[in-house]
A = this chain, B = another copy of it.
Amino acid sequence: MLTISERGIAMPASPIRKLVPFAEAAKKKGTKVYHLNIGQPDIETPAEIMDAVKHTDMKVLEYSHSAGNESYRRKLVEYYKRVGIEVTHEQIMITAGGSEAILFGFFSCLNPGDEVIIPEPFYANYNGFACTAGVNVVPITSYIETGFALPPIDAFEKVITPKTKAIVVCNPNNPTGYLYSREEMEALKNICLKHNLYLFSDEAYREFCYDGEYISAMQLEGLEQNVVLMDTISKRYSACGARIGALVTKNKAVYDTAMKFAQARLSPPGLAQILGEAAVDLPESYFDAPKAEYLHRRDTLIKRLNAMPGVFCPTPGGAFYAIARLPIDDADKFCQWLLESFSHNNQTVMLAPATGFYGTPGLGKNEVRLAYVLNVDAINAAMDCLEEALEQYPGIVK
């Protein structure tokens, strides 16, 4: 018999997308569904960068350099300089979204059976990339009570084995919105240096920090050889569909190895590189409006959530996600129930059960992730639904 691969069987289905059929059924019944379940912003992609693609006079849509167009990489040097990261264009590799940057990083640095430590809850697709690379994710738990701060160093020390090769962090964090402090980044640096670990740093949400100072892993002095930055324009410019990201590292051996994976797939998306390059020329003031908008949404969302009986949601310092604890028996059941059995004024809300963001089984059962990617009116309407739902849901835990 033809068989599916072991890694294919082990590969997790997307926890964010598994409720999609229930959402589709709800919509077919005529119910309006507010999507707070997925990080797809409603902010318009800047017209200037779409126009750059529309005005291209390219006659042949050729392969680009496997590392991406040199002109784009040189522009990105300027971009990174503006955000306090000093790199050369030969330390930047353009990838098909942040996803490919993560894969190239894992493929280049990790062997099957190696372990990577990731503070949980974490971006669920790290599981998929780890599975693809045959790598084992070792979660260490961060807690809602502390706003999902970095677990203390001894939590890292406890799980480090000879197979531990890397720590993965997302800063500001998806799904918690937590923004790591300078002290936490220094603590990460020390543990990486002490145990000789790579630090994979996913900084997709760098521009969206509302409280406190943003520290890039690339700014940690003495850790230059350990850091692999995984970046993407998806959220920055509301251009998720472009599929343009970057792997950035000062470690030449890692870069050269990643280049071999990049060469095998020939080149990153060509049209979208034009868009990405134009984005670097947006004025710095471009971020003022979306950042103010996200801040307004965050404040609305957090206030509404914490006003509901039995609900607790710490205030996220960055990104556009929050994890809330709800007075419910089971977030998976609840999120499905919201779509299948509930409506309020013919509307409902789609949330992501937090269970999919934890590596430790059983955690996150009474937590959900909310992406504040909709405008304030929609957020308020969605919160009206949630408030009403928590009155009606049969699995309420008082």
Contacts and interface: CB of A to CB of B under 8 A. Distances in A.
Given A12-B260, A257-B4, A99 B265 contact: yes
Number of copies: 2
A196 interface: yes
A2 B226 contact: yes
A181 interface: no
Interface in A124-157: 125, 128-129, 132, 134
B112 A260 contact: no
Interface centre among A9, A56, A271 (most CB of B within 10 A): A271
Contacts of A271: 53, 241-242, 269, 271-272, 275
B260 A11 contact: yes
Given A41-B60, A270-B243, A14 B96 contact: no
A107 B261 contact: no
Interface residues of A, number: 80
A41 B111 CA distance: 37
B61 A251 contact: no
B243 A99 contact: no
A62 interface: yes
A269 B243 contact: yes
Interface string A92-127: 000011011001000111111010000000000100
A221 interface: no
Given A107-B132, A263-B13, A275-B271, A62 B240 contact: yes
A105 to B, nearest CB: 10
B257 A243 contact: no
A241 B56 CA distance: 14
A204 to B, nearest CB: 12
Contacts of A8: 107-109, 257-258, 260-261
Interface in A153-195: 165
Contacts of A263: 13-14, 17, 125, 128
Contacts of A398: none
Interface of A: 1-9, 11-14, 17, 38, 40-45, 50, 53-56, 58-64, 66, 96-97, 99-100, 103, 107-112, 114, 125, 128-129, 132, 134, 165, 196, 198, 225-226, 238-243, 251, 253-254, 257-258, 260-261, 263-272, 275
11 contacts: A2-B253, A40-B62, A45-B59, A45-B60, A53-B54, A54-B56, A60-B238, A61-B241, A96-B96, A128-B264, A242-B271
